[in-house]
Structure 1
Amino acid sequence: MACPVVHTGEDFLANALAHIDCQAQAIGSYGYGALASPGSPVTIALTSLLTIFIALFGIRLLLGYPMATRDVVGDVLKVGIMLTLATSWPAWRVVGYDLVIHGPNQIAQVIGGGAGLPGSAGDLAARLQNVDRGLAAFNTFGSGRLGVAQGDWFQLGFARSAYLVGTLGPLALVRLTAGFLLAVAPLMAGLLLFGITRGIFEGWARALVTTFLASMLLSVIYGVELALLEPWLQDALQRRAADVQTLDAPVEILVAALSFAVVSLAGVFLMARLAFHSRFHLPAFLPEAGPRSEAPPISQRAAVVTASGEEPSRAVIVAQSVTDNLRREERIADIARTEGRWSERSGSSAAPSTLAAQAGQASGENALGNTWRRPSRRHSGAARRRDQN
């Protein structure tokens, strides 16, 4: 992608701004295409990460790890987002590229148009260049101070330098950073799959939000700067053309240029703080495990208690249930063998089930409600006399 060449003395500021925007767009689009190509190292790394993620998911299923529906949906969403960011340029262009590259200027034009700021009609770079021309012309005229040949040249030259630095520096920082972050989207997409690397993915997303907000804020700041400097320069140049001294102009333009340079850099810092110090966290939307997990019955959970007090896994619960069933069958077999030996000793074919009755009585002693229950049957006097006759 051929970007405009910057020449000295020929609309330096406008050409430099256009060159920076062109480079940011080229880095964001062509860099993404290079990383997302089938033979790139990033694609191979993403394939490996996806294979590891699916293998870990299968191991969790084999071990009986409790997973709710929301956990499965969260894993599917992570895989879908990763594949979309890493392989689908049409989707990423709509969701990320156009939003970060072209969205801030469009929103700033709407805000500036409502506030009546200069440059809201899409001619911000041209009007910034006009201010630079005015500063260069004012350097030529000077303030008209008598008896001093070069007294104001340093202040006027430094004011123009501060103006150019305050305009090019923050904008180049934000736009080029946005282009780089857009280019590494395939690499950052793979970091979404694992909890240990998800913080890097969140930082990348927050940095994109920072560039978006900072680009929008810088456009508004430059509009306010134009609203201040354009009338001031027009009046100062008209005074100098009429051979009227402007002794305070060098200090005024220097203070204004330095102030807006500081405001631009501080605005970028504030947008970064807003993006990185918010309470937004991605795991709230993609949880690892939620309170709605499909847990085993309460009786099984109560039978298994871990040393750390955590809820046991499904494999441990199943193993404990099998162990309880085996112990129960062993007790029943012991009772049957004991009754068989009793029958052989007594010589009777009908063996008493005393031990079985004792076992049933022991199991029913602690039943709920047996504490105040009368164990014997109730007999009235009339019933006893009737039975005697």
Structure 2
Amino acid sequence: MAVCDAIPSPESFAPSILRFLDCQAQLIGAEGYQALAVPGSTASVLLTGMVTLLIALLGYRMLLGHTPTIREGVLTFVKIGLVLVLATSWPAYQTLIYDFILRGPAELASTIGGAANLPGSGGGLVGRIDGVDQALKVLAIDGVGPAPLGPDGRPLMPSVPPPPFLGFDSFALGFSRVIFLVSTVASFAIVRIAAAILLSLAPLFAVFLLFDGTRGLFEGWLKALIGTALGSLAIALTLGIELAFVEPWVATLLARRASDLDIVGAPAQLFAASIIFAIALGAVMWLTARVAISLRIPAWLSTLQTGWAAGAAQQVEQARTTAAAYPPIESRSRAAAVADAIAINQRRETTAAEGARGSRAAHMARSLAGQNRGDRMDRLPEQDRSSRRTRSRISSRAIARDKRL
């Protein structure tokens, strides 16, 4: 096992720590993966148990009569094969994921930065960072320099505002270097260490791809890996932009100090620039993390996850369709029940109106006849009304019939 050099050089602090971080990331990612992929490890035991459980569940479904189709069986075995490749095959894993995460961002940054003519895009980014660091150190040692003297021998009035407090120029030059180093090294350290840990845990997270209930863990692991790769690319490009601005500026300041000229006002500007680019590095890392979180697993991978459970899902969907077509009365909403009651009432009224349409005229005629009889009785004199017979009339034909009997 290789050992990374952990003793930084006082003259080149930035290259030493950046090389150490890169070496540790490669070692942890490679050696950690191989340690978890060997038989008998925790990830290996978990992989064996999960694959056995998946095959057992598939067998129980077949015993219960849910025979998988050819498509479901093929997708299930493809899923198992993909998990075994990711969890046990180092050559395949190195080609597909390891090299892409650790070396892919540098190649993309070289392509994009070379087209934009950014410093360090063709290689040597660490050396350019060290050059700026050394220049800031020399400026902090030399200081601002004395103010220029006028013809009368007195110092000329500077054209910049005075410093906020006494000794601010030395403070600003020193802290500009500190902020530059901290932002540069910390951004690389975050993405490299995170990538190393996630790469080493690949055999463990690959197991979670087998079941739908645990697929979210694998998806989160994959998103985090893609986020570290995007973060490395964004940091490399942002540092290239910073070097393109700071490098010639610091070289000019060094030339002025070598000519014994002052750099009044430059410390505050360097201090502000270092803070601005530190904030920019943090912002691009946050943005790349947001982009990685918003990613979704491709559709083909989701299809693999639902392979052996497709038959059961189809039966559930058919049951839901049938239930939706014939909803039970108790499950219907109050609004639907009210609407049905109103419709039934309207149909009843329509039926009653149609049935009574034929007898309505006769009913009106009987009402009018009864009213006319009442009017005629009211118009009869009192004596005529009192002399009405009280016995019923018997016709002569009825009397003759009774005699014959």
TM over 0.5: yes
Provide the C-alpha distance between the structure 2 equivalents of 1:55 and 1:287, rounded to a whole number of angstroms: 16
- In structure 2, runs of 5+ residues without a counterpart are 148-154, 156-164, 325-405
Q: Name the aligned partner's letter for residue 222 of structure 2.
A: A
Aligned twin of 2:121: 120
Distance 1:305 1:214, change over 3 A: closer
Aligned twin of 2:229: 212
Q: In the alignment, does 2:26 pair up with 1:22?
A: no
Structure 1 residue 224: Cα displacement: 0.9
Provide the C-alpha distance between the structure 2 equivalents of 1:212 and 1:108, rounded to a whole number of angstroms: 11
- Aligned mate of 2:266, from 249, 252, 256: 249
- In structure 1, runs of 5+ residues without a counterpart are 311-389
Structure 1 residue 269: Cα displacement: 1.1
Aligned twin of 1:347: none
Q: In the alignment, does 2:287 pair up with 1:286?
A: no
**Structure number, greater radius of gyration:** 2
Distance 1:156 1:265, change over 3 A: same
Aligned twin of 1:53: 54
Q: Name the aligned partner's letter for residue 260 of structure 1.
A: F
Distance 1:108 1:81, change over 3 A: same
Q: Name the aligned partner's letter for residue 88 of structure 1.
A: S
Which range moves more in the overlay, 244-253 or 202-211? 244-253
Aligned twin of 1:163: 180
Q: Name the aligned partner's letter for residue 164 of structure 1.
A: L
| CA contact 1:206–1:276 (8 Å) conserved in 2 | yes
Structure 1 residue 245: Cα displacement: 1.7
Equivalent residues in 2 for 1:344-359 (5 A)?
none
How many residues align? The count is 305
Structure 1 residue 281: Cα displacement: 5.0
- Aligned mate of 1:152, from 149, 169, 173: 169
Aligned twin of 1:110: 111
Aligned twin of 2:192: 175
Q: Name the aligned partner's letter for residue 63 of structure 1.
A: L
Q: In the alignment, does 2:234 pair up with 1:233?
A: no
Q: In the alignment, does 2:142 pair up with 1:141?
A: yes
% identity of equivalent residues: 40
Q: Deviations over 1:182-215 (max 9, x none)?
A: 1000000111011111001000001111011111
Distance 1:248 1:64, change over 3 A: farther
Equivalent residues in 2 for 1:3-18 (5 A)?
3-18=4-19
Structure 1 residue 10: Cα displacement: 2.7
Provide the C-alpha distance between the structure 2 equivalents of 1:135 and 1:89, rounded to a whole number of angstroms: 44
Distance 1:306 1:27, change over 3 A: closer
Provide the C-alpha distance between the structure 1 equivalents of 2:33 and 2:252, rounded to a whole number of angstroms: 48
Structure 1 residue 143: Cα displacement: 1.5
Provide the C-alpha distance between the structure 2 equivalents of 1:190 and 1:305, rounded to a whole number of angstroms: 32
Distance 1:216 1:149, change over 3 A: same
Q: Name the aligned partner's letter for residue 284 of structure 1.
A: S
Structure 1 residue 309: Cα displacement: 3.5
Provide the C-alpha distance between the structure 2 equivalents of 1:240 and 1:10, rounded to a whole number of angstroms: 21
2:304 match: secondary structure: coil
1:247 match: secondary structure: coil
Aligned twin of 2:213: 196
1:144 match: secondary structure: coil
Structure 1 residue 253: Cα displacement: 1.0
Provide the C-alpha distance between the structure 1 equivalents of 2:204 and 2:320, rounded to a whole number of angstroms: 40
Which range moves more in the overlay, 65-74 or 77-86? 65-74
Aligned twin of 2:74: 73
1:6 match: secondary structure: coil
Distance 1:145 1:71, change over 3 A: farther
Aligned twin of 1:95: 96
Distance 1:4 1:40, change over 3 A: same
Q: In the alignment, does 2:273 pair up with 1:263?
A: no
1:152 match: secondary structure: helix
Q: Deviations over 1:255-288 (max 9, x none)?
A: 1111111111111111111111134456534251
Structure 1 residue 242: Cα displacement: 1.5
Structure 1 residue 106: Cα displacement: 1.1
| CA contact 1:128–1:226 (8 Å) conserved in 2 | yes
Structure 1 residue 77: Cα displacement: 2.2
| CA contact 1:70–1:290 (8 Å) conserved in 2 | no
| CA contact 1:162–1:261 (8 Å) conserved in 2 | yes
| CA contact 1:6–1:12 (8 Å) conserved in 2 | no
2:211 match: secondary structure: coil
